[in-house]
Amino acid sequence: MSDSTPLAICFGEGMVALVAATAGPLEDCRTFHRSLAGAEWNTAIALSSAGIRTAVLSRVGDDGFGRFLTAELRAHGVDDTAVEIDDQAPTGLYVKELVARADGAVDGTMHYYRAGSAAAAMSPEKLAAPVASTLLARAALVHTSGITPAISASALAAQEALYSDHRPGRLVSFDLNWRPALWRGREAEGREIVSGFARRADIVFCTRPDAEAVFGTSDPQELRAQFPQPRYLAVTDASGAVAFDGEERAESDALDAPVVETIGAGDAFAAGFLAGVLTGLSLTGSVARGHRIATRALLSTRDHVD
């Protein structure tokens, strides 16, 4: 890609997903397929596939899983130079359990093994490292989520530092991605934290179920009234999306496409929408681009697009 195209940076934890080869209880599954996972990393891969120069800012362990993840980024055209290697802490992972549905698709349940991971040590100091700070200085967009501030106090501080570093012409994107398990025992604190990030972002994404759980409503117009600060707000569910650019509203049904599994489709939608914004598409065009890329994530049990 040309150096003149916009640079997007995705900040968050990448993980290895071990996906059950067959639907059924984990105790009955003997074979698992390895895949890259992590909301912001999924978005980075989808952004790159949409022609946007993309880099990931994160940390992985000095282990085989970490090397696999960075190799996957490079294979998908994503800059991994700001992914730090930790020789003490491991790369995070999760196991995906599959349950067959009557319509032929499958539902995935994630079982996380990420406590004490290398990414949990993300911190404001890491953002000041030469490679990271150089990329951030060039970025047209920084994409974040509600997952990173939940994994550790230092990761929360790092995301706060990104939001406090206001730069002319740089957009900040926030995907709610509410993970109750990560906020267990501190749900009220988590809701306050993610609400603060949503109000300070330029672009906000949330699913209707997550919005209901965190903000008390899933109605797009009520959410817009509750969060007038972001220029863009996109509210999604399996049936489609409602998006706002200021007071302008666009509504679109999801594309009719085969569904294998839905995990990762929201990350892909965000990438398509962001690619639309960065390349000057209208609100309607950005929503349509989000839907097109999201359909690609529905075609497999992997979390990211090919």
> What is the structure's pLDDT at 260?
46
> What is the structure's pLDDT at 91?
98
Q: Does 189 have pLDDT greater than 80? A: yes
Q: Mean pLDDT over residues 101-112, rounded? A: 83
Please confirm, yes or no, whether 267 is among the known catalytic residues. yes
Active-site residue among 80, 267, 303, 306? 267
Would you place residue 102 in the very low, low, confident or very high pLDDT band (cuts 50, 70, 90)? confident
Q: Does 256 have pLDDT greater than 90? A: no
Would you place residue 254 in the very low, low, confident or very high pLDDT band (cuts 50, 70, 90)? confident
Give the long-range contacts of residues 163-171, CB within 8 A, separation 24 or more: 163/197, 163/200, 163/201, 165/136, 167/137, 169/140, 170/139, 170/140, 170/141, 170/142, 171/140, 171/141, 171/142, 171/202, 171/203, 171/277
Least confident of 85-99, 185-199, 257-271: 257-271
pTM of the model: 0.91
| Sequence ranges of the domains in the chain | 7-14+38-90+115-297
> What is the structure's pLDDT at 295?
81
Q: Does 123 have pLDDT greater than 70? A: yes
Mean pLDDT across the chain: 91
> What is the structure's pLDDT at 303?
46
- Residue 21 CA: distances (Å) to CA of 26, 28, 103, 259: 10, 11, 19, 17
Q: Mean pLDDT over residues 231-239, rounded? A: 93
> What is the structure's pLDDT at 301?
45
Q: Does 16 have pLDDT greater than 60? A: yes
Task: Summarize pLDDT for 150-172 with one digit per residue, the tens.
Answer: 999 999 999 999 999 988 999 99
Residues 6 or more apart whose Cβ sits within 8 Å of residue 155 = 13, 119, 120, 121, 122, 123, 148, 149
> What is the structure's pLDDT at 257?
59
Residue 247 in tokens: 């007071």
Architecture of domain 7-14+38-90+115-297: 3-Layer(aba) Sandwich (3.40)
